[in-house]
Chain A
Amino acid sequence: MSYAFEAEGLVKRYGSTTALAGVSLHARRGTVLGVLGPNGAGKTTAIQILATLLRPDAGRATVGGLDVVRDAARVGRLVGLTGQYATVDEDLTGAENLVLLGRLLDLPRAAARSRARALLTQVGLMDAAHLRVSAYSGGMRRRLDLAAGLIGRPEIVFLDEPTTGLDPGKREDLWATIRALAAEGATVLLTTQYLEEADALADEITVIDHGRVIAHDTPAGLKQLVGGRTIVVRPSDPALLGAAARVVERVTGRPVEQQHGGALTTPVESARAFTDVVRALETARVDVAELALRLPSLDEVFFSLTGVTETSATGTEETA
């Protein structure tokens, strides 16, 4: 199997603090790897090592088959980086920033300009192209950061929390851009605190916490790993909730777990139980407004893997 990038046993210490305690990551070409973890888990340190901004204390990493320490300069040609620490110049306009980066990547002046225009259009900043970045909103900054990482048409794109601080609409837009990148054949490493984001974008997810990998799987596999499925039943008439609960209990042979907001949930062993519940509700003439078999959410997965509650895992940082 050919990996676009591969890290093995990365260790990075700052004084007595261990940021990474042996992290291994890899992604096949053309896939999106989501690295999921709370603040301080080591996500950014791992990306900085892969992007040659930091040297690992132990372990090794290759990007496009090149060693990130020995071949740092050549690795730089393959990757594009977007993160809050690798940003753009506030005193320059959006267009000037991108043209400068294009020139630094040895594009001729005209090519750098047209590349900048194409990217500004792509991230929806053409109207603000000639405004200084200091006048940009947080969301505009993030989109310009993304464009800055894509100047050199990188084969491998590292996105360190690209949507932190974006409002939901803009987040969906950025997701579309990231999906398009992967569809074009780029390999994407995406770190996020948003479980929903990893689920929506990643082909595989590596969960890290306190500098260690605690799980690696597909989003679906990860959900399977942690627990069974749940049936949700919401009767059209809230008065029938009790009747619905009796039906479900009879079919599944276990008491319903939660019963609030007019809906009940209960864990089930197999998908087969779901069809049984559907038939039994039909027979008992309980009309339903909502009837679902759902996988555990990544929030729940994360909680059961790390023991950290969801609020601390999805805390947002406001960026100016």
Chain B
Amino acid sequence: MTTLSTQAPAVRRPAVDAPRPWPLLRHSFALAGRSLTKTWRNPGMLLEALFMPAIFLLMFVYLFGGAVSGSSREYLQYVFPGVLVLTTILTGQVSTGVSIVVDMKKGVFDRFRSMPIARSAPLLGSMLGDAVRYPVAVTMLFGLGYLLGFRVETDLASALGAVALTIGFGFSLSWLTVLVAVLLGDENMVSWVAFLVPFPLVFGTSMAAPAETMPGWLQAWAEVNPVSHAIDASRRLLLGGPVAEPVLMTLLWGGAALLVLAPLAAWAYRRRM
């Protein structure tokens, strides 16, 4: 039996006197720490990030490799950079939106909202905390790729550039799911959006096969599809070729997505009161 002390804290002087600078960043980092602790406690949440890239890579290389390239080994070099983009986009889509909806339905978000913290911090904190999935998924992909025989044909700096670029691109696009999540507030709907949206974007490109082999309408789509630039950039950073143009286009598209979607999602989130 525990007894409550009858001595209350001195309430007349608030513990918090004045706001400190950079509230959005500091609060987001504190909340990202919370997400990381939760992930650490439920590592099952990372299984998806771990196995999804492996499944896609094995499927492409062994199911289609022979048909497309005549050899699995050759096809692995071709398809790996595309699977890297697929991995980072899917990782971004499936993780964050769902965990935000789950959080919003629980009382803990209401507590955050009742506190004098930056209003978008819970949203951004959740995104940052979930970002741990990207390195997990990418490490898995490269590990398996190397076991199967994939080799980077450029240098370490370019390879790291490809990783950073594709993660950044996946993170930017993931704000789409976040926006949908905040607007709909239903995790089942969010799962569907997260599942359906990436497909035309990622598969309607030269990821799995050269665009020349596609019907005209699909070629036209692959031409204008922003993910095509990301795949070109990834391929050239990993395998060689002029990188300036596709990297620039990827940065522009990713930046545009981030600049449009992130403020929209934050606005929709703040407006849910």
Contacts and interface: CB of A to CB of B under 8 A. Distances in A.
Interface string A59-71: 0000000000000
Interface stretch (B13-21, B165-173, B190-198, B245-253): B13-21
A76 B8 contact: no
B9 A118 contact: yes
B266 to A, nearest CB: 15
A100 B9 CA distance: 19
A101 B11 contact: no
A268 B147 CA distance: 94
A79 B34 contact: no
Contact of A150 (B9, B27, B114): B9
B110 interface: yes
B158 to A, nearest CB: 39
A152 B31 contact: no
Interface stretch (B37-45, B61-69, B217-225): B37-45
Nearest to A140: B2
Contact of A121 (B5, B13, B20, B41): B5
| Majority DSSP secondary structure for residues of B touching A | loop
Q: How many of chain A's residues touch chain B, expressed as a range?
A: 35 or more
Interface string B112-140: 11111101010000000000000000000
A281 B175 CA distance: 82
Contacts of A125: 2
B9 A122 contact: yes
Interface string B90-111: 0000000000000000111011
A95 to B, nearest CB: 12
B3 A104 contact: no
A100 B34 contact: yes
Interface in B175-198: none
Most chain A CB atoms below 10 A, which of B3, B11, B119: B11
B30 A100 contact: yes
B7 interface: yes
Given A88-B108, A152-B15, A123 B4 contact: yes
A53 B109 CA distance: 11
A124 B2 contact: yes
Contacts of A223: none
A246 interface: no
B8 A96 contact: no
B9 A92 contact: no
Contacts of B13: 153
A73 B273 CA distance: 13
A104 B31 contact: yes
Contacts of A106: 16, 19-20, 23, 26
A279 interface: no
A77 to B, nearest CB: 4
B27 A151 contact: no
A55 B113 CA distance: 13
B41 A176 contact: no
Contacts of A76: 114-117
B4 A177 contact: yes
Contacts of B117: 76, 104-105
A71 to B, nearest CB: 11
A152 B14 contact: yes
A184 B11 contact: yes
A152 B111 contact: no
A184 B12 contact: yes
B35 to A, nearest CB: 10
A261 B6 CA distance: 39
Contact of B4 (A78, A111, A122): A122
A87 interface: yes
B157 interface: no
A181 B11 contact: yes
B1 interface: yes
A115 B15 contact: yes
Given A119-B9, A180-B7, A74 B116 contact: yes
Given A89-B34, A107-B15, 4 more contacts: A86-B111, A87-B110, A101-B111, A155-B14
Interface of B: 1-16, 19-20, 23, 26-27, 30-31, 33-34, 37-38, 41-42, 106-108, 110-117, 119, 121, 273
